[in-house]
Amino acid sequence: MSIPIASSLASPLPSSIAKCSEEEEKANMAIVFDRYKDRLATLPKKKGWISENIYMYQGFWHHSGRRTSVETVMALQDTFIARPTDIYLITPPKSGTTWLKALVFALVNRNHYQNHNLSTHPLLISNPHKCVPHIESELYRTTPTYVDPHSTRLFGTHISYTSLPQSILDNKCHFVYLFRNPKDVLVSLFHYGNKLRDQSRDQMTFEEAFDMFSKGITPNGPYWDHVKGTISSV
């Protein structure tokens, strides 16, 4: 797939991104979690990697009560409106998401910064996750991330292709999919999960992580279902 060039943007991408306060985001997150708490209670659950439980929804496991969670998948399916020019970067967790965001952002916006001082390039002064936000972040904002209606929107997500909002599929948007050697994913996920694990819980052993990964009980897993489901669909 060729990567579109954002040459038609009225201004460089960073200046078209609206800001939203942390307080506003937290308040909107609480609304989303409350709206879907009854549906959450009906879902199968297992012991989680980070929080206490992980929930099965549409064939995949998701944590609850986090910025990217089962509630946000449901809310996006109900409310998200895509544009035909959107580009979605889909990755299983710990598969090179940050690297992919930086690479595609640089490609899409390469015409904007040819004559600029490289020291002010967004990727040198900001995190790639700020340059290419997750689509889940749209749920928590009082104004859209991209305020220019004609801009090429770049979004990342860990949501499997089969659970994406129907609006994305209907608009035939662009997709970039990246996956990684599952052995490397397991090791990265093990360290990442323990780093973010609730302090009230003991650290997960590698044996526990290996067992859960082998059974497919991982955030946005089973891993191979995520990979096969996406590759066979796009």
Catalytic amino acids?
A: 158
Give the integer Cα–Cα distance in Å for 185 and 220. 12
Please check whether residue 168 is in contact with residue 22, taking contact to mean a CB–CB distance below 8 angstroms: no
> Cβ of 56: how many Cβ atoms within 10 Å?
15
Backbone angles phi, psi at 62, to 5 degrees: -140, 145
Contacts of 165 (CB under 8 A, 6+ apart): 76, 77, 79, 80, 82
Contacts of 197 (CB under 8 A, 6+ apart): 49, 50, 203, 204
What six digits make up the tokens of 116?
């600029």
Element (H, E) at 41: none
